A and B are shown apart, each in its own frame.
Chain A
Amino acid sequence: MSTTAGAIAIETGESPARRAMRRFVQHKLAMFGLVVVVIFVAAALLAPWIAPFDPLETSWSRIRKAPSTTHLFGTDENGRDVLSRVLFGARASLMAGVIAVGGAVLIGVPVGLVAGLGGKWLDILISRIADAMLSIPFLILAIALAAFLGPALENAMIAIAVSASPIFVRLARGMALEARSTDWVEAARALGNPPWRIGLVHVLPNIVPPLLVQATLAIAEAIIAEASLSFLGLGQQPPQPSWGSMLNSAQRFIEGAPWLAIFPGLAIFLVVLAFNLVGDGLRDALDPRSQRR
């Protein structure tokens, strides 16, 4: 054989990831969701530069002013600019969503893989713990944990991460069990792959698509959870802005100054909707059974 890899023109095929990306881009609603997410992320990152006012600066002279050209979203009960607080609040919400879900994935996926690919008793042990956690409603568990850890944004994120992890344990375990019975995993075993390599090199890449979809949808849930915790005073602490705590203080003025509730509420609504749209779009794009090209 004289042919070497250097001498031939290698044709590169379309990878499954690239194909999914192409399908995702053609998904209009998903792209709309992605644009909204990108706008919110940009707003959160650029908040110090684009916010018209200091979100913490109070003023007795402009308490609960209705939206105007200087204060587009109006001012709150301490005379702070609502637009600036919504922009800075995006930081708490998105950070809580992304970091908490990242933590949940980091806890849940390895544990789930071990349950699915490890021994029978390990599986039983892990699955029962996950079931026990899933038997408590997500938000209740997060509130209980956050209350136990003490009121702070970091603690709220830890509480959300722990509460969201059993979903990933279960998903990763189920997918790993499914993968374990496939021919290509048996083929990997027949080649002489050690168990850890089967888990990392063969099973993990194949279960990324459903994990990605689940993670995106979980971010939406985590954002709601963070807002709920802050609403209850367990998340972001005053005077730092957070959509949840803004809603909390707005409820006293809901009749006289509805803009205090409308804008943070709208922000939560939009960003949660956007993440859900992105998640649905990813699901469609990654589903191998979907016929759309």
Chain B
Amino acid sequence: MSLDRPAGKVPLLELEGLVKHFPFRDSLGRRRGAVHAVDGVTLAVPRGSVLAIVGESGCGKSTLGRVALRLVEPDAGSLRFDGEDLLALRPAALRAKRREMQLIFQDPFASLDPRMTVEAAITEPLILHRLHRGRERARVAELLERVGLRPELARRWPHEFSGGQRQRIAIARALASEPRLVIGDEPVSALDVSVQAQVVNLLGDLIRDLGLTFVLISHDLGVVRQVADRVAVMYLGRIVEEAPAEQLFLTPRHPYTRALLAAVPGQGGALKLLEGDIPSPVSPPSGCRFRTRCPHAQALCAEVVPELMGDAGRESAGQAAHLTACHFQDSLPPATPIREAAADARLARLQSFFSTNREPTA
């Protein structure tokens, strides 16, 4: 622990060398291998910032989000929240700590208990952590209004709401205990596009107004670009590139990041799209995990695992560092500049339509 750093400088969430493997066994119970879901991830999320974790499905980003909250026990590594070692906490202390760190799930049709009214669901964190005692109802009304729902709907059941409304309820629930850290696991990808824009805007407002520290797990680069301060790109359980959002979108260094950006519809991919599937996370390729799909791969890539590092000059700048895990990051041809996003313009038009022409709620 870094006691020498002033308190305000300690990142709210620090992950170091986190590893999570899911073993699988044959019918006799013998261990036959393991899925390397998270394989040595080091990340820091400064207070009040929004970090996005992006990657293809199956790259381990959801597992990483759960390990970061210790909802899943990591196999190795360290995990600090506000400078405190989360892995050392006993179960009761960890439960008390959950007041300050919350998770928003991807599927709002699955994340709400079907036998709890909206009011009961949002009141639950207040009861668990003994908050707003005696005025829980008022707090529920306040939260519902904050996420753009009518407080009159408090006594209704989840099945009576649409996906977007349910996700607003889930957000209200996550915010009820006034957490400092919120992790959103693909919080809008299960929603209709029109509703996505509204919920992204809502999340953006909440992050700004409440000063939340937010980790956005997403595969949607449009959404990421809109809210993230910093972006970490994940591939097969490892971070391959981490940079301030603007830098990452303008000057992506890792071949995988470039391929991801080129794959965004409407960007007119000048780069050849990736071929083939993501390799099996049970037996990831040796050396650089991306080498099997990388157009620039050389012999070295199969032998040595590239470290996540930045260019020497800027490394001391901390937050602004642009880190890449590629042996040839300095010798790759410059990235093809992305054509200024037609997709974003479309999204913006769509959003403006929905924010002016329609009430946000039913």
> Could you list which residues of chain A lie within 8 angstroms of chain B, going by C-beta atoms?
1, 3-5, 8-16, 182-184, 186-194, 197, 202, 205-206, 288
Binary flags per residue of B156-171, CB closer than 8 Å to A gives 1, else 0: 1101100000000010
Q: How far is the CB of A9 from chain B (nearest CB, A)?
A: 6
Question: In the bound complex, do residue B152 and residue A10 qualify as a contact, i.e. CB atoms below 8 Å apart?
Answer: yes
Enumerate chain A residues within 8 angstroms of B116, measured Cβ to Cβ. 202
- Taken together as a complex, chains A and B put the C-alpha atoms of A3 and B92 apart, in Å, by 35
Q: Is B284 an interface residue (CB 8 A)?
A: no
* Residue in contact with B110 in the complex, picked from A15, A16, A182, A206, CB distance below 8 Å: A182
Taking the nearest CB of chain B, how far is it from the CB of A180, in angstroms?
13
Q: B98 contacts which of A1, A10, A182, A190 (Cβ < 8 Å)?
A: A190
Judged by a CB distance under 8 angstroms, whether B61 is at the interface is: no
Contact assessment for B112 and A192 in the assembled complex, using a CB-CB cutoff below 8 Å: no
- Is the Cβ of B155 less than 8 Å from the Cβ of A183? no
Q: Are B96 and A192 in contact (CB under 8 A)?
A: yes
Q: Does B138 interact with chain A (Cβ within 8 Å)?
A: yes
A5 near B137: Cβ-Cβ < 8 Å: yes
| Residue in A closest to B161 when the chains form the complex, CB atoms | A13
Residue in chain A with minimal CB distance to B156: A13
Residues of A within 8 A of B229 (CB): none
When each residue 255-296 of chain B gets 1 if its CB lies under 8 Å from chain A and 0 otherwise, what string results?
Answer: 000000000000000000000000000000000000000000
Q: Do the beta carbons of B114 and A206 come within 8 Å of each other?
A: yes
B113 near A192: Cβ-Cβ < 8 Å = no
A-side contacts of B170, CB under 8 Å? 187
Stretch at the interface among B33-41, B45-53, B121-129: B121-129
Closest to B117 in A: A13
The 3 closest A-B pairs by CB, nearest first: A13-B156, A5-B137, A192-B98
Bound state CA distance, A15 and B145, in angstroms?
23
Pick 9 A–B contacts, CB within 8 A, sort by A.
A3-B142, A5-B137, A16-B159, A184-B111, A186-B105, A192-B97, A192-B125, A193-B95, A206-B113
Contact A188 B113 (CB under 8 A): yes
Within 8 A of A (CB), among B93-140: 95-99, 102-103, 105, 107, 110-117, 124-125, 128-129, 137-138, 140
Question: A10 and B155 in contact (CB under 8 A), knowing A5-B137, A184-B113, A189-B71?
Answer: yes
CB neighbours of B141 from chain A (8 A): 1, 3-5, 8
Whole-angstrom distance between the Cβ of A253 and the nearest chain B Cβ:
54
Candidates B95, B154, B160; contact of A192 at CB < 8 Å: B95
